[in-house]
Structure 1
Amino acid sequence: MKQTKALDTAPQQRRATRHQMLRRYLPHVHEDLAATYSRDLHKWLFIAPIIGVTTGLVITAIAVIILGRLWPAVLGYYLHHHWAIVPGLVAAFAITGLIMQYFTPDPDEHSTEEVIRSYHEHEGNIDMRPFFPKLLAAITTVGFGGSAALEGPSIYGGAAIGSWLWTKLRRFKLDERDRRIMLICGAAAGMSAVFRAPLTGIVFALEMPYKDDLAHEALMPSLIASVISYVTMASFLGGQPLFNFASAASFTHRDLFWCALLGLIVGLIAMVFVITFRRVRVYFVRLAMPHWCKLALGGLLTGLCGVGFLWIFGGTLVPIGPNYEAVGAILNQHHSSLELISFSGFKLAATVATLGVGGVSAMFVPLFLTGGAIGTAFAQSVVHSRAVELYAAVGMASFISAGYKTPLAAVVFVAEATGGHAFIIPALIGAAVAYAVSGDASASGDQRLHENRKGEAA
């Protein structure tokens, strides 16, 4: 009997021992899992795709309107009737000014600047009431010849969508900090879609708020939203590189030296340009004049840049408008170094005239294009190299790096948008040198130094 009882109690003792071990170790397992998933990342698997799809659809519509319909017709008319450039731009800019003056609370707040300011000062909150007027103002600025491109409305549009969706999806345990993440997430999606370059969108959006830091907390949501946004736009317009051109198979140590020198030259030019632009921008913000009058003056000056260049050189290369077609013209058609340098000067002047007075967009493509023209001229006249694409790519990356303080995004953009993956190492060297020599001068007056100095002004 005693042996039978002992056999009966053995399983109970083993079960009791197991329960004691579970009670002892389960709290540790729970603690480890809680620490592992403390940021609740799985919610972004649902939220980020919504931001990506919504942003992708909106940016596709903007791209079709400006690049597919409006600008080709306007450019064709301008090239056949040079006299129409100045009145056309004055009228378009005046309309932009009227839209911003009467349909937005602050006509001087828009595009990338508004996104950065919202990130640092308003916890990612963007006022959606002027959303459509600002997109319309961007269309009238860019579509009729302003020296800017689609990155302004794309970054703003995506960021605003992310901020707005935060108010609609708060049931998914979103806190105040998540709104800033969704803001950057939307900006990345907008950049990814408009340039068909998802990695560029991620890196640029993370670099955008700071001069020497990253918005690390938005990495994973931005990655998801950028890819989804890119796929959304590519399903309508295709996924080929936006500025596709042949890349050199290799480069030499001599090329790396020349690329560093090119980065130095471009960095100094970018520094002078950015300082000039910021001073012009501050002057026009403070100028006691109706906003539409400021924009009309900007349209006049931008138009004169276009007419002046065409009067001197003729042809189809013109330093106004979104200028996507100019990349192919510079790389695939022969232009003298004098014409390329002159184009760069007129393009930068037109950009100051467009955006310095308050035009609605941003200068990513103008800087990219100017760097490409300078790099091509450098290859022709200084290096005497046949690999003009290499130096064009380095010039592009260097100007973006110095102007926007986004060296990683500049190099990634050149690789993705041009298909020139063989240029990554030379572009890194040029971008790093340009970033260093240009100091803290940035096209954005709202960028901060780094995360632990949020209280500092730029």
Structure 2
Amino acid sequence: MKKPEQVHIAAHLLKWTAITVPVALTVGSLVAFFLWSLDEVTQLRQQRPWLLYLLPVAGLLIYALYRYLGKNAEAGNNLIMNEIHEPGGGVPLRMAPLVLATTIITHLFGGSAGREGTAVQIGGSLAGQLGKWFRLGKEDVRIILTTGIAAGFGAVFGTPVTGAVFALEVLTVGRISHKALLPCLMASVLADVTCSAWQIQHTHYHIAINEVISSTVDFIHFDFWLLLKVIGGGVCFGMAGYLFSTLSHTIKKYSGQFIPVKWLIPFVGGIVIIALTALLGTDDYLGLGVTNPDPDGVSIVSSFREGGAGYWSWCWKLLFTAITLGMGFKGGEVTPLFFIGAALGNTIALLTGAPVDLMAGLGFIAVFAGATNTPIACTIMGVELFGGEYVLYYAVACFTAYYFSGHTGIYAAQRMQSKT
């Protein structure tokens, strides 16, 4: 007698629950340690500005660590994504400690980078090792690596649903596979809970514009003119995502061509960051940029209020980050993309008369959507971070940014949906 389909589903869920739990607990705990370490070194750098002048030396150290210990681990997120597409050599366990250490070094000495890449690599590396221990087949290796991405992303930003959807959406542009749907959700939720259990606090953002959003037509439940501004903003956000992706890849390509001695690339990159900081006379564009100890400084949080960012703050953060990551330093791109988007949204709001906090929030998620080709995940992120009341505006901004960013993205291993 053939077993009911529900029996197979239950067995599948039990199997992946047993596999996912250790992945999520381990990744969530390591991400908590990483976020704590990041806060500590960020405070240390802000208290000792002279550390920036050691950034070129830090670049040499990062190069040496990957040169002699990293092997294929330097491919980072792209290696994990390639292994999901075509399981082969596996994701080395050494990727986790290497990227954690080198990201901390980057932030300690003032590099402009994020944290998502590190969390995803921690998740993918540990998941890959567990896959080897469990002796999983190729199809199951794809799933466990995807759960590692979900766990790392969900824990590092405190957005578990986004983490699950991002892990599925980022692999192939235009297609989401449901094979790893529940394992990814379980991994992301449990990793986020684990990270929070270690008393890690995520930054809270707030959009409060109820009195501004209104319509003079009874059957239209949104502000039509504001929606037009959001569409225009979405175009700008998509172009910013395209610019960031293109510039990062270009700097990486041509720095390798014009600087034949490879260890000099991060050294020169560090010097360029120092020079730009001296030229601008501010350190606002170093590090994560989530908050700023200077009440007059620019940060993601400050961009949610009027006057909290300059007209070109977004452009400077884009340049600093593209140089940092394109010339060999480690970290993620996503938090700088949040900065770029929020600061650009602040500028657009001032130019168009749109609510500053709403437009900053839209830029926050939409530039990320454009640069990673993940508009659905980013719309959900808007709900998780800012609340669901303005979800229509989130979707319009993210979907518009996705279309106007083209098919260029920050992940070289991201594939296009095959035409049938």
Q: TM-score, normalised by structure 2?
A: 0.89
Q: Deviations over 1:286-324 (max 9, x none)?
A: 566444321111112223333333x2xx5xx70110112
Task: Give the distance between the partners of 1:352 and 1:444, measured in 2 at CA.
Answer: 14
| 1:305 and 2:276 correspond | yes
Distance 1:127 1:163 in 2: 7
Counterpart Cα distance in 2 of 1:106 and 1:289: 20
Query: 1:278, 1:445 within 8 Å by CA — same for their partners in 2?
Result: no
CA deviation profile, 1:205-239 (whole Å, cap 9, x unmatched): 11121121124221111111111111111112256
Task: Structure 1 unaligned segments of length 5 or more: list them.
Answer: 1-26, 79-83
Q: Match for 1:392: what amino acid?
A: A
Distance 1:97 1:348 in 2: 23
Distance of 2:157 and 2:348 partners within structure 1: 26
1:50 to partner: Cα distance? 1.1
Which residues in structure 2 correspond to 1:20-419 (within 5 Å)?
Answer: 27=1, 30-33=2-5, 36-37=8-9, 40-67=12-39, 69-78=40-49, 84=50, 86-106=52-72, 108-110=74-76, 112-123=77-88, 125-170=90-135, 174-238=136-200, 242-249=203-210, 251=213, 252-285=223-256, 289-309=260-280, 311=281, 318-325=284-291, 326-332=299-305, 334-335=307-308, 340-381=310-351, 383-385=352-354, 387-417=355-385, 419=386
Compare 194-203 and 32-41 and name the one that shifted more: 32-41
C-alpha deviation, 1:422, in angstroms:
2.5
The secondary structure found in structure 2 opposite 1:318 is: coil
CA contact (8 A) 1:98 1:291 kept: no
Q: What number of residue pairs does the alignment pair up? A: 403
Unaligned runs of 5+ in 2: 214-222, 292-298
Q: 2: CA distance between counterparts of 1:146 and 1:63?
A: 16
- Per mean C-alpha deviation after superposition, the further-off stretch among 279-288 and 145-154 is 279-288
Residue in structure 2 matching 1:424, options 388, 391, 411: 391
Call closer, same or farther: CA 1:340–1:121 in 2, change over 3 Å.
farther
- 2:300–2:338 CA contact under 8 A, matched in 1: no
Query: Does the CA-based 8 Å contact 1:44-1:221 persist in structure 2?
Result: yes
Q: Cα offset for 1:331? A: 2.1
1:339-373 deviations in Å (ceiling 9; x for gaps): 52321111111111111112222211111111110
**Deviation (angstroms), 1:92:** 2.1
Maintained 8 Å contact 1:91/1:296 = yes
User: Is the contact between residue 59 and residue 328 of structure 2 (CA under 8 Å) also seen in structure 1?
Assistant: no
1:321-342 CA distance string (max 9 Å, x none): 011212222224634xxx5232
Query: What is the TM-score when the length of structure 1 is the normalising length?
Result: 0.82
Q: Which one has a bigger Cα radius of gyration?
A: 1
Stretch of structure 1 that moved more, 278-287 or 439-448: 278-287
Q: Secondary structure of 1:105's partner?
A: helix
Q: Is the CA contact 1:277–1:352 (under 8 Å) kept in the aligned structure 2? A: yes
Offset at residue 87 of structure 1 (A): 1.4
